[in-house]
Amino acid sequence: MILDAFYKTLGQTGDPRFRRVLFLGVGLTIALLIAAYAAFLFLIQWFTGATVTLPYIGEVTWLDDLLSVGSLIFMLVLSMFLMVPVASAITSMFLDEVAQAVEDRHFPHLPTVTPTPLWAALKDTVNFLGVLLGANILALLLYVIFPPAAPFIFWGLNGFLLGREYFTLAAARRVGLAEARKMRRKHMATIWAAGTLMALPLSLPLVNLVIPILGAATFTHLFHALWRQG
């Protein structure tokens, strides 16, 4: 069922609506990371000032430059871990468009769904982003404590979170949030497995930016398969 949903998604990768969501998601993600770094840099320069007096050294003028360079390196390294979770969360805001593209092609007999209001979609995105960022930042500690298990922790954690969120969003469009949660609990093993398969390529640069789009489409197919089954 999962592989069938994924193969159907691959057959639709040329859809213009898929590309539009990809460009929006990646563009907004990059803009958000740049804004976060700019704010971080502003705070550093505000706290340190042009000159700083250090014990036994005296007045120095290079500390803010050193911290600025260090903060840039820190943000670049951090973005390697946060780029995908942030892109995944932002892409979830445009899931309606991806899901509608899938349904227009594969389920044209279904009635039109009222799009999720922008404010509601933004609220869900912020909540999902907070969960993803919090979980992945905490996971950094586990990566340090259990280095050999780091890839499996990353795949399992993000597979669970992405599968849970994307399935709920895809299902809620058709059956409402309460029923979507009920379906999610009933089919959690299948959803987690599908989410983990979706999380495996997240370790590949550039490819990982496409995964949220493919995941949103795949979970739309998966929802309809489970819905028919039920």
Give the total number of structural domains in the chain: 1
Q: What percent of the chain has pLDDT over 90?
A: 19
Query: What DSSP string describes 42-98?
Result: HHHHHHH-S-EEETTTEEESSHHHHHHHHHHHHHHHHHHHHHHHHHHHHHHTTHHHH
Give the lowest-confidence range in 41-50, 55-64, 76-85, 108-117. 55-64
The neighbouring-strand residues paired with 53 are 59
Six-digit token string for 220: 């739309």
**% helix, strand, coil for the chain, step of 5:** 85, 5, 15
The crossing angle, in degrees rounded to 10, of helices 63-92 and 150-175 is 40
Cα–Cα distance, 52 to 157 (Å, whole number):
43
Residue-range definition of the domain harbouring residue 217: 2-108+116-229
Cα–Cα distance, 134 to 132 (Å, whole number):
6
Q: Which helix (H) or strand (E) holds 129?
A: helix 118-145
Please give the pLDDT value at position 61.
54
Cα–Cα distance, 18 to 149 (Å, whole number):
33
Please give the pLDDT value at position 218.
92
Q: What percent of the chain has pLDDT over 70?
A: 73
Q: Which of these, 80, 109, 98, 110, lies nearest to 209 by C-alpha position?
A: 80
Six-digit token string for 163: 């599968």
pLDDT in tens, 113-157: 876 666 776 777 778 778 877 888 888 889 889 999 988 998 999
Is 159:198 a contact under the CB 8 Å cutoff?
Answer: yes
Flag whether pLDDT at 62 surpasses 50: no
What is the chain's mean pLDDT, rounded?
Answer: 79
> H helices of 146-187, where?
150-175, 177-186
Handedness of CA 200, 204, 207, 209 (dihedral sign): positive
Can you tell me which residue has the tokens 């905490």? 138
Q: Which of these, 73, 75, 5, 66, lies nearest to 227 by C-alpha position?
A: 5
Please give the pLDDT value at position 190.
94
Flag whether pLDDT at 182 surpasses 80: yes
Give the lowest-confidence range in 27-36, 115-124, 141-150, 176-185. 115-124
11-17 average pLDDT score: 87
pLDDT band at 38 (very low <50, low <70, confident <90, very high): confident
pLDDT in tens, 72-93: 566 666 666 666 666 666 666 7
Residue 164 or 73, more confident: 164
The neighbouring-strand residues paired with 60 are 52
Residue 93 or 210, more confident: 210
Please give the pLDDT value at position 80.
61
pLDDT band at 31 (very low <50, low <70, confident <90, very high): confident
